[in-house]
């Protein structure tokens, strides 16, 4: 997946996960206005696909995460997903993404999983959970697999963002450290401030 396809001005995929997706559209609008243009709606959130349909007129594409099966992929794409993100290596999802001409970012952790997901046709690899190994682990993976675009996700703190990018990340997947309580009624100005801090960290 190219930077142009995700249309990101900041190399971050903001992950929205909450009990319900009632505020996803509003939070996504704030993220886009603040410079985070790649956003993931997780299927584990009640109403995520309905929220995605509500965002059909947004300027930037939105992806769907926690895609496990080919059926998940179909439902997500039918709702308007521009890309699919998995927490695992699912050959079925990768193959369905190929059939639908939709990029798939597969979740993997070990070098074997990462190489398998890439060889199977994933567009990028989500290194998950990234916090287990941190930037040093990412750097170690990049040494033998320098051509695979890696997106560390899971426990990536805002203050660690630069370290991950310096270790060779193509982009970062960040959920609660960035989103906080914005999806459950929290202060959207506080979200804007966190985005500003993250962008400063990455500048």
Which among 99, 117, 121, 119 has a CA at the least distance from the CA of 109? 117
Q: Which two tokens stand for residue 186?
A: 């929290």
33, 113, 126, 201: which one is catalytic? 126
In which element (H, E) is residue 150 found? strand 150-152
Q: Is 193 among the catalytic positions?
A: no
40, 95, 113, 201: which one is catalytic? 40
Angle between the N-to-C axes of helices 91-100 and 111-120, in degrees from 0 to 180, rounded to the nearest 10: 30
Residue 161 CA to residue 66 CA, distance in Å, equals 22
How does DSSP assign 113-169, residue by residue? HHHHHHHHT-SEEEETTGGGTHHHHHHHHHTT-TTS-EEEBSS--GGGHHHHHHTT-
Residue 34 CA to residue 85 CA, distance in Å, equals 23
Beta bridge partners of 126: 107, 151
Q: Is 126 among the catalytic positions?
A: yes
Residue 67 CA to residue 85 CA, distance in Å, equals 6
User: What residues are labeled active site?
Assistant: 40, 126
């Amino acid at each position: 997946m190219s930077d142009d396809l995700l249309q990101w001005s900041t190399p971050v995929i903001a992950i929205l996960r909450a009990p319900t997706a009632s505020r996803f559209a509003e939070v996504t609008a704030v993220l886009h206005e603040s410079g985070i243009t790649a956003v993931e709606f997780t299927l584990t959130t009640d109403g995520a696909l309905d929220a995605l349909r509500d965002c059909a007129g947004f300027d930037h594409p939105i992806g769907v995460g926690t895609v496990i099966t080919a059926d998940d992929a179909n439902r997500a794409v039918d709702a308007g997903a521009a890309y699919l993100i998995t927490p695992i290596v699912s050959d079925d999802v990768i193959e369905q993404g190929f059939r639908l001409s939709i990029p798939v970012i597969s979740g993997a952790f070990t070098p074997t999983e990462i190489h398998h997901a890439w060889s199977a046709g994933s567009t990028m690899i989500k290194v998950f959970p990234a916090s287990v190994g941190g930037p040093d682990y990412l750097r170690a993976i990049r040494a033998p697999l320098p051509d695979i675009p890696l997106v560390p996700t899971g426990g990536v703190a805002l203050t660690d963002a630069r370290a991950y990018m310096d270790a060779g990340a193509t982009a970062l997947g960040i959920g609660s450290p960035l989103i906080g309580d914005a999806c459950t009624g929290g202060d959207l100005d506080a979200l804007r401030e966190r985005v500003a801090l993250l962008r400063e960290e990455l500048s």
